[in-house]
Structure 1
Amino acid sequence: MAGIDFGNMNCYLAAARNKGIEVLMNDYSLHATPLFNSIIQLKNGDIGMKVMYLNEERIFTPEQVLACLFTHLRLLLSKSLGADINECVMSVPFYFDEKQRLAVIAAGKIASLKIRLINEHAALAYNYGIYKGMNLPKSEEPPKIVAFVDCVGGHYFDLLLRDYFVVQFKEKYNIDVTKNPRAMFRLLDECEKLKKQMSANSQNIPFHIECFMNDVDVSGSMQRTQFEEMAQHLFEKINLMLHTLFERAQINVEDVSDVEIIGGSSRIPRIKQIIGEFFKKEPRTTMNQDDAIARGCALRSAMFYPAYQMKEFALEDPFDLVMEASKLPTEKSVAELLKIEKDMQAADQRATERSDAKNALEEYCFRMQHTFEDTKACEGKVTEDVRLSCLNECSEVLEWLDMNSTELQKKQIECRHSELEKYCKPALSKLFAVSEAKKEKQADVKQEDSNQNGKDQPNQDIEAKCEDENVDNKTSSNPKPECNDAEMD
């Protein structure tokens, strides 16, 4: 009962549990999982990605790269839900053709994940219809029309800003950012932050990047009005799409009762203004602008399970898929890629276990160094030769780890860890044995003091009681003063 929003830049995970829809977090406690994490430059037009994997140059197909991502998402879902997840509902862009959809399904098979595909707008409709569908049309009435522009989105606004500052930095700092892929990526990331800040602030927004390229610090700034002028051609595409939508649907703008917008770029004030002016009403943002599609996928997934009582309705996409003549992964090739994927998972698992063993050994060495460097704590408990010997052994182990960090295996590290523990154990036993003896002695002294105080307490109570009785006797022996008649009068 899981849903995945497969976006252009990020992926979002959601699941149906605890009588609701929950958006899940990744390893970094974030809802958004980046779709790519590295820069790959292709020198030819072949479809493939050349990367270094396990000190070996490998070429991965797009299906393999997607499978790596899906495997990571599947593990995140399994970890969050506490069960092995092997099927889900995933959204894809409306304009994906049959070939692209089958490639996504093939990538899911490689990742041992059974995928049910729905369109992004369909997932949004499920999310909207479940919670706000009281006044929707009849269930048998199909959607009117779907229009889209595949070259307008948050990423294209980021690219626009990046290209602008590439020119600015070349004139201002005499550096060509296009020759450094890492610098281009850093600039793109900074431009995305700048875009988000301009959506919330109309003032001039500065930014600064240290050691950007060739040890040069760069800075820049931009206002929202300047950004809107630069992106005017993208805003015009949105306006054109809205006109095309109503021309093809053959309905009037006045017939629309509600307008809901989602997506990260829906926060840009100019886009809200364009939509509001076209529909002559303020667009609503009552649904989560980032997680709405993932929630819709999770809702669609929950409909397949009878344990969840869901509102019965279905959604038909108003378009036909056309199969193109192209080469798609066969069952045999998928099986081969699945074997490669499992081998890669096993290699990743070995690398993780090796890293954990290395970190555990380093932590133990640092802890021992901290213990035996305290001369005051070791004085009178272990000899100076033993203390220095333990410190030298820890230093040798750390040096051994640094010199052979890429060649050591998990068993070798664990064996050295065990040897170091055996070497330091006698000294630690003496050190902590003396400490425990002191603690026991202090505890015995405290117990004796408390017992002595307990014995003295009854005597004190008796003396106090006797004093109180004497006071009472003295008080009772004194006659009460008599009042004479004069005083009475």
Structure 2
Amino acid sequence: MAGAMAILGSSILALLLAGYLAQQYLPPPKPKVIGLDLGTTYCSVGVFQPGTGKVEVIADRAGRKSLPSVVSFTDRDILAGYEAQELADTNPLNTVYDAKRFIGKRFTPEELRSESSRYQFKVLYNEGDAEFSVSANESLRVTPEYIGSRLLLELKKMAEEYLGTPVSKAIISVPAEFDERQRNFTVKAAQLAGLDILRVINEPTAAAMAYGLHKVDVFNVLVVDLGGGTLDVSLLNKQGGMFLTRAMAGNNQLGGQDFNQRLLQFLLNQIHQRYGALPSQKQDVHHLRQAVEAAKLNLTLSDSALIRVPLSLLVPAPSGGGGDGSSEVLFEETVTRDLFEGLNRDLFEKILAPVEEVLTRGHLGRYEVDEIVLVGGSTRIPRIRRVIREFFGKEPNTSVDPDLAVVIGVAIQAGIMGGSWPLQVSALEIPNRHLRKTNFN
């Protein structure tokens, strides 16, 4: 009996030693599950690397780690990401973006008419659901989940190229406010892209995991998510390894696009004052929009940015002369950070309304918040960080790239679900079915 126990003990020791040596000297296995962030404005994919415990957000061939959540239909193809974004001004009726605003959501005809009024592409009512009317050799009606599937398919291809192996399993994030139907339709979009969703995780929880808050002793976490088109503020309570979303508020019509629009309108006014005309080509307006986006990004690091765009202007003919003529000019304008902040001062201050609302609903004072987590590229803007810092009297946590915080958290969860080592502490979410988001528009 003693000999049998000795043999068993030796066998177990040998297995443990073999496992240790395999982890130390054999190449780690490839990730089995990918993490997906299907954002309103941008989307990303990441993996948890077994062995190193690091998250890799996968880049496209140009090195970009986020794709625009845009899909464009042409006579030849259906394009997604940056290729689709390039057609936003030249093919506006067949270029769909912000599809996440519509996925799985029920509308009255009046609600849908109001929501769709801001877009150039056609949004149709179908018994409470939204559909998009596009043309690609023939007229088509496509659903929001189909648009999502084209973006997820692009992310899936990027992951497969990076890993060198087929991918079929994923974790996906959704806004905390999404109801069961919106979550199910998001999963349906993934299924259309050939993906099996193992778990749906709330975006604020994913962001908290990216910052490592699932492994440290904190209780009250405020997540401020300001992206290209929407602002979402969530108050999380963490108890052990569990997160409870205690309150939510936001603004569905506030984001980086609005800040860009203020600067674009200023530049158009400058062009009109300087030349007496406005750009006559859609491509010129597109290039001006790109220059505005680049300037906004530069102003997060520098005090000024130079905008330099060649324009074709339709110049009115002199009184009594012939028809209008075209003039080619090189428009140059130096934009300062002070100017940008001045143009958007009222919009930046609007961020505090939902912050105050979640604290009120969560019965929490501003100084009782343990961690303030920033998510979304627009939280890079220095003035926005200053507004938040001055309100709370403490620095927000900016240790993670705000553009990638959600996908990093989802990838960590994907690693946990895939059994990758070294194992992380998993974060569980406590469902709160009766919680409603307050909107400030």
TM bin, normalised by shorter chain, reads 0.5 to 0.7
Task: Report the alpha carbon displacement of residue 245 of structure 1 after superposing the two structures with TM.
Answer: 1.8
Q: Relative to structure 2, which stretch is displaced further, 309-318 or 106-115?
A: 309-318
Q: Assess, with a 3 A threshold, how the Cα gap between structure 1 residues 314 and 94 changes in structure 2: closer, same or farther.
A: closer
Q: Assess, with a 3 A threshold, how the Cα gap between structure 1 residues 132 and 113 changes in structure 2: closer, same or farther.
A: same
Aligned-pair RMSD on alpha carbons? 2.7
Contact 1:209 1:218 in 2 (8 A): yes
Report what 2:155 is aligned to: 73
Report what 1:133 is aligned to: 216
Report the 3-state secondary structure (helix = DSSP H, G, I; strand = E; otherwise coil) of the residue aligned with 1:259: strand
Q: Assess, with a 3 A threshold, how the Cα gap between structure 1 residues 64 and 216 changes in structure 2: closer, same or farther.
A: farther
Report what 1:33 is aligned to: 67
Aligned positions of 1:370-389 closer than 5 A = none
Higher strand share: 2
Find the aligned partners of 2:243 and 2:154 in 1 and give their Cα distance: 39
Report what 1:208 is aligned to: 308
Find the aligned partners of 1:124 and 1:194 in 2 and give their Cα distance: 27
Report what 2:387 is aligned to: 274
Q: For residues 54-107 of structure 1, give each alpha carbon's deviation from its aligned partner in whole angstroms, at most 9, with x where no partner exists.
A: x55655443333222211111111111222112211223344444443333222
**Candidates 292, 317, 320, aligned match of 1:191:** 292
Q: Assess, with a 3 A threshold, how the Cα gap between structure 1 residues 23 and 172 changes in structure 2: closer, same or farther.
A: same
Contact 1:89 1:118 in 2 (8 A): yes
Amino acid at match of 1:277: E
Number of positions where the alignment pairs a residue of Structure 1 with one of Structure 2: 318
Q: Which of these two proteins has the greater Rg computed from alpha carbons?
A: 1
Find the aligned partners of 2:426 and 2:215 in 1 and give their Cα distance: 14
1:50 aligned onto 2:144: no
Report what 2:339 is aligned to: 226
1:87 aligned onto 2:169: yes
Report what 1:124 is aligned to: 207
Amino acid at match of 1:278: F
Amino acid at match of 2:146: Q
Report the 3-state secondary structure (helix = DSSP H, G, I; strand = E; otherwise coil) of the residue aligned with 2:36: strand
1:103 aligned onto 2:185: yes
Find the aligned partners of 1:217 and 1:62 in 2 and give their Cα distance: 40
Find the aligned partners of 1:143 and 1:96 in 2 and give their Cα distance: 12
**Candidates 189, 195, 213, aligned match of 1:113:** 195
Find the aligned partners of 2:311 and 2:69 in 1 and give their Cα distance: 26
Structure 1: runs of 5+ lacking an equivalent: 323-489
Find the aligned partners of 1:294 and 1:220 in 2 and give their Cα distance: 36
Task: Report the alpha carbon displacement of residue 206 of structure 1 after superposing the two structures with TM.
Answer: 2.5
**Candidates 238, 258, 261, aligned match of 2:371:** 258
Amino acid at match of 2:353: L
1:18 aligned onto 2:120: no
Report the 3-state secondary structure (helix = DSSP H, G, I; strand = E; otherwise coil) of the residue aligned with 1:88: strand
Q: Assess, with a 3 A threshold, how the Cα gap between structure 1 residues 182 and 61 changes in structure 2: closer, same or farther.
A: farther
Task: Report the alpha carbon displacement of residue 296 of structure 1 after superposing the two structures with TM.
Answer: 0.5
Report the 3-state secondary structure (helix = DSSP H, G, I; strand = E; otherwise coil) of the residue aligned with 1:303: helix
Amino acid at match of 1:133: V
Amino acid at match of 1:14: G
Find the aligned partners of 1:147 and 1:32 in 2 and give their Cα distance: 26
Find the aligned partners of 1:255 and 1:65 in 2 and give their Cα distance: 41
Q: Relative to structure 2, which stretch is displaced further, 3-12 or 265-274?
A: 3-12
Report what 1:4 is aligned to: 36
**Candidates 379, 390, 396, aligned match of 1:283:** 396
Q: Assess, with a 3 A threshold, how the Cα gap between structure 1 residues 319 and 166 changes in structure 2: closer, same or farther.
A: farther
Report the 3-state secondary structure (helix = DSSP H, G, I; strand = E; otherwise coil) of the residue aligned with 1:165: helix
Find the aligned partners of 1:310 and 1:81 in 2 and give their Cα distance: 21
Find the aligned partners of 1:216 and 1:270 in 2 and give their Cα distance: 33
Contact 2:214 2:425 in 1 (8 A): no
Report what 1:157 is aligned to: 259
Find the aligned partners of 1:90 and 1:2 in 2 and give their Cα distance: 9
Find the aligned partners of 1:319 and 1:270 in 2 and give their Cα distance: 35
Structure 2: runs of 5+ lacking an equivalent: 1-32, 71-84, 94-119, 125-130, 220-237, 314-325, 437-441
Find the aligned partners of 1:237 and 1:155 in 2 and give their Cα distance: 15
Higher helix share: 1
Task: Report the alpha carbon displacement of residue 117 of structure 1 after superposing the two structures with TM.
Answer: 2.9
Find the aligned partners of 2:184 and 2:266 in 1 and give their Cα distance: 38
Task: Report the alpha carbon displacement of residue 283 of structure 1 after superposing the two structures with TM.
Answer: 1.8
TM-score, normalization by structure 1: 0.59
Percent of residue pairs identical: 25
Find the aligned partners of 2:266 and 2:212 in 1 and give their Cα distance: 41
Task: Report the alpha carbon displacement of residue 161 of structure 1 after superposing the two structures with TM.
Answer: 1.6
Aligned positions of 1:287-326 closer than 5 A = 287-308=400-421, 309-320=423-434
Q: For residues 226-275 of structure 1, give each alpha carbon's deviation from its aligned partner in whole angstroms, at most 9, with x where no partner exists.
A: 22222122112111122112111111222223323232122211111111
Task: Report the alpha carbon displacement of residue 133 of structure 1 after superposing the two structures with TM.
Answer: 1.9
Contact 1:124 1:296 in 2 (8 A): yes
Find the aligned partners of 2:310 and 2:173 in 1 and give their Cα distance: 39
TM-score, normalization by structure 2: 0.65
Report what 1:145 is aligned to: 247
Q: Assess, with a 3 A threshold, how the Cα gap between structure 1 residues 298 and 230 changes in structure 2: closer, same or farther.
A: same
Q: Assess, with a 3 A threshold, how the Cα gap between structure 1 residues 87 and 320 changes in structure 2: closer, same or farther.
A: farther
Structure 1 runs, 4 residues or longer, greater than 6 Å off: none
Q: Assess, with a 3 A threshold, how the Cα gap between structure 1 residues 44 and 237 changes in structure 2: closer, same or farther.
A: same
Q: For residues 288-322 of structure 1, give each alpha carbon's deviation from its aligned partner in whole angstroms, at most 9, with x where no partner exists.
A: 22221111111122222334423143123545489
Report the 3-state secondary structure (helix = DSSP H, G, I; strand = E; otherwise coil) of the residue aligned with 2:247: coil
1:172 aligned onto 2:274: yes
Task: Report the alpha carbon displacement of residue 49 of structure 1 after superposing the two structures with TM.
Answer: 4.2
